[in-house]
């Protein structure tokens, strides 16, 4: 097994759900970087964006990722933009196995809408305008960074349990 398993990818691609399943199967703790950021900031991510802006959020995110990469034996579910930052990306790629969970824009949109029971998306980066178009634009902007993960798994038609089994199969095939 690698030192750590990093799950990266766009919002609502399944990182946290899959991370829970991988944690159950390995016995390794799941650490959600967004939860760590909320704990450090003392407020929700939406409030950090609203009150301090994206740059402040990314600074706390960078510090959080740096600290998480220093550990071993963890499943780390990273926020959708964490892997875009070159420093974060380098740390993750050298700190364990990085697996990008990918989904079509329509799948992401459906998952985000289901979080609110069909209401407007609550994700800060989707505020204003057409959320599906914003998802498409952000995914296109991030595609190059996501392509640098060690492996990618398409999650559209898989359950979190199926994706978790594929994550472990990749880790066992590829070693540390």
SS3 46: helix
Q: Where are the domains of the chain?
A: 5-170
In this structure, CATH architecture of domain 5-170: 3-Layer(aba) Sandwich (3.40)
Question: What tokens does 96 get?
Answer: 């364990």
d(CA 147, CA 152): 8
Confidence band, pLDDT 50/70/90 cuts, at residue 104: very high
Confidence label for 134 from pLDDT (cuts 50, 70 and 90): confident
State the residue for tokens 């505020």: 127
Q: pTM of the prediction?
A: 0.90
- Cα 105 to Cα 121: distance, rounded to the nearest angstrom: 14
Structure tokens given for 164: 């978790």
Q: For 137-148, what is each residue's pLDDT tens digit?
A: 999 999 999 999
- Which residue do the tokens 């990306």 mark? 89
């Amino acid at each position: 097994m690698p030192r750590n398993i990093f799950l990266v990818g766009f919002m609502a691609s399944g990182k946290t759900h899959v991370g829970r399943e991988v944690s159950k199967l390995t016995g390794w703790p799941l650490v959600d970087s967004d939860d760590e950021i909320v704990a450090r900031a003392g407020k929700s991510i939406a409030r950090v964006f609203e009150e301090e802006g994206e740059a402040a959020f990314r600074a706390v995110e960078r510090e959080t990722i740096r600290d998480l990469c220093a550990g071993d034996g963890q499943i780390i579910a990273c926020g959708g933009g964490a892997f875009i930052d070159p420093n974060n990306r380098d740390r993750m790629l050298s700190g364990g196995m990085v697996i990008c969970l990918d989904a079509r824009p329509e799948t992401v949109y459906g998952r985000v809408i289901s979080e609110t029971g069909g209401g407007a998306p609550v994700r800060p980066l989707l505020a204003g305008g057409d959320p599906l178009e914003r998802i498409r634009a952000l995914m296109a902007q991030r595609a190059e960074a996501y392509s640098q993960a060690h492996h990618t798994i398409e999650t559209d038609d898989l359950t979190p349990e199926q994706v978790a089994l594929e994550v472990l199969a990749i880790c066992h095939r590829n070693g540390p």
